[in-house]
Structure 1
Amino acid sequence: MSFQPVLPLGGLAGWRFLQRTMPAQQSALNDSPPIARNAEHFRARIGEIATPAELVEDRRLLTVALGAFGLQEDIDNRFFIRRILEEGTARNDALANRLADKRYAVFARAFAFDAPQGPATRAPGFADDIVARFERQSFEVAIGRRDEDMRLALFADRELRALARADSTPRTKWFRVMGTPPLRAVVETALGLPKSFGQQDLDRQLETFRDRSARLFGSPDIAAFADPEVRERVIRQFLLQSEIGRVPATTPGATALALLESAASAGRSGV
Structure 2
Amino acid sequence: MLTTMAEYQRLTQDLDRTLKMTASDPVIARETEYYLSRISEISTVDEFVDDTRVFNYAMKAFGLEEMSYAKAFMRKVLTEGIDNPDAFSNKLVDKRYRAFAEAFNFQKLGAAATQIVAQETTTDYYTRRMLEEDSMESNYYLASIQSITTIDEFIGNTRVYSYAMKAFGLEDMIEDADFMRTVLTEGIHDPNAFANQLADSRFRKFAAVFNFESNGEATTSFSATQQGTVDKYMLTMGSKQEADTDYYLSTIADIKSIGEFMENTEVFNYALKAFFLEDFADDTDFIRKILEDGLDSVGGIIEQLEALDQKSLATFANAFNFRERGEDATTYSLTQQGTVDRYIRETLEVSAGEENQGVRLALYFERKAPSITSAYTILADKALTKFVQVALGIPASASSQDIDKQAAMIEKRLDLADLQDPEKLDKLVRRFTMLWELENPTQSAPVPNVLIGQPLQASFSSDLLASLQNLKLGGF
- When normalised by structure 1's length, the TM-score is 0.75
1:205 maps to what in 2? 406
Aligned partners of 2:407, 2:111: CA distance in 1, in Å?
A: 36
Give the secondary structure class of the aligned counterpart of 2:49: helix
Aligned partners of 1:57, 1:210: CA distance in 2, in Å?
A: 44
2:96 maps to what in 1? 103
Give the count of matched residue pairs: 225
Give the secondary structure class of the aligned counterpart of 1:234: helix
1:156 maps to what in 2? 365
Aligned partners of 1:33, 1:200: CA distance in 2, in Å?
A: 47
Pairing of 1:34-49 with structure 2 (within 5 A) = 34-49=27-42
Identify which of 372, 376, 392 aligns with 1:175.
Answer: 376
2:431 maps to what in 1? 237
Identity %: 32
Give the secondary structure class of the aligned counterpart of 1:36: helix
Pairing of 1:186-225 with structure 2 (within 5 A) = 186-213=387-414, 219=415, 221=416, 223-225=417-419
Aligned partners of 1:194, 1:31: CA distance in 2, in Å?
A: 40
In the TM superposition, residue 134 of structure 1 has moved relative to its aligned partner by 0.7
Tell whether the 8 Å contact from 2:61 to 2:346 is kept in structure 1 after alignment.
yes
2:337 maps to what in 1? 128
In the TM superposition, residue 138 of structure 1 has moved relative to its aligned partner by 0.9
In the TM superposition, residue 244 of structure 1 has moved relative to its aligned partner by 2.7
Over 3 Å counting, the alpha-carbon distance change for 1:20 and 1:121 in structure 2 is same
The Cα offsets for residues 43-62 of structure 1, whole Å up to 9 and x where unpaired, read as: 22212222222111111111
Identify which of 74, 77, 84 aligns with 2:67.
Answer: 74
Over 3 Å counting, the alpha-carbon distance change for 1:195 and 1:35 in structure 2 is same
Aligned partners of 1:65, 1:154: CA distance in 2, in Å?
A: 20
The Cα offsets for residues 172-217 of structure 1, whole Å up to 9 and x where unpaired, read as: xx3322222222221232122222323333332222221110xxxx
Over 3 Å counting, the alpha-carbon distance change for 1:119 and 1:195 in structure 2 is farther
Aligned partners of 2:384, 2:343: CA distance in 1, in Å?
A: 18
1:16 maps to what in 2? 9
Aligned partners of 1:191, 1:97: CA distance in 2, in Å?
A: 30
Over 3 Å counting, the alpha-carbon distance change for 1:97 and 1:119 in structure 2 is farther
Tell whether the 8 Å contact from 2:43 to 2:113 is kept in structure 1 after alignment.
no
Give the secondary structure class of the aligned counterpart of 1:48: coil
- When normalised by structure 2's length, the TM-score is 0.44
Identify which of 9, 19, 27 aligns with 2:20.
Answer: 27
Tell whether the 8 Å contact from 2:42 to 2:114 is kept in structure 1 after alignment.
yes
Aligned partners of 2:111, 2:400: CA distance in 1, in Å?
A: 40
The Cα offsets for residues 115-147 of structure 1, whole Å up to 9 and x where unpaired, read as: 267663224322111111111111111111111
The Cα offsets for residues 58-82 of structure 1, whole Å up to 9 and x where unpaired, read as: 1111122111111112222222221
Over 3 Å counting, the alpha-carbon distance change for 1:93 and 1:241 in structure 2 is farther
Gapped regions of structure 1 (runs ≥ 5): 1-7, 165-169, 214-218, 248-271
Q: Which moved more, 1:139-148 or 1:182-191?
A: 182-191
Tell whether the 8 Å contact from 1:103 to 1:180 is kept in structure 2 after alignment.
no
Give the secondary structure class of the aligned counterpart of 1:115: helix
Over 3 Å counting, the alpha-carbon distance change for 1:177 and 1:50 in structure 2 is farther
Tell whether the 8 Å contact from 1:101 to 1:180 is kept in structure 2 after alignment.
yes
Q: Which moved more, 1:226-235 or 1:197-206?
A: 197-206
Aligned partners of 2:397, 2:5: CA distance in 1, in Å?
A: 26
In the TM superposition, residue 90 of structure 1 has moved relative to its aligned partner by 2.6
Amino acid at match of 1:15: Y
Over 3 Å counting, the alpha-carbon distance change for 1:118 and 1:156 in structure 2 is same
Aligned partners of 2:20, 2:116: CA distance in 1, in Å?
A: 26
Aligned partners of 2:29, 2:338: CA distance in 1, in Å?
A: 15
Over 3 Å counting, the alpha-carbon distance change for 1:38 and 1:235 in structure 2 is same
Over 3 Å counting, the alpha-carbon distance change for 1:90 and 1:195 in structure 2 is farther
Aligned partners of 1:158, 1:184: CA distance in 2, in Å?
A: 14
Amino acid at match of 1:138: T
Over 3 Å counting, the alpha-carbon distance change for 1:242 and 1:97 in structure 2 is same
Amino acid at match of 1:28: M
Aligned partners of 2:95, 2:110: CA distance in 1, in Å?
A: 24
1:268 maps to what in 2? none
In the TM superposition, residue 22 of structure 1 has moved relative to its aligned partner by 4.3
Tell whether the 8 Å contact from 2:82 to 2:90 is kept in structure 1 after alignment.
yes
1:228 maps to what in 2? 422
2:352 maps to what in 1? 143
Aligned partners of 1:137, 1:97: CA distance in 2, in Å?
A: 23
Over 3 Å counting, the alpha-carbon distance change for 1:176 and 1:119 in structure 2 is farther
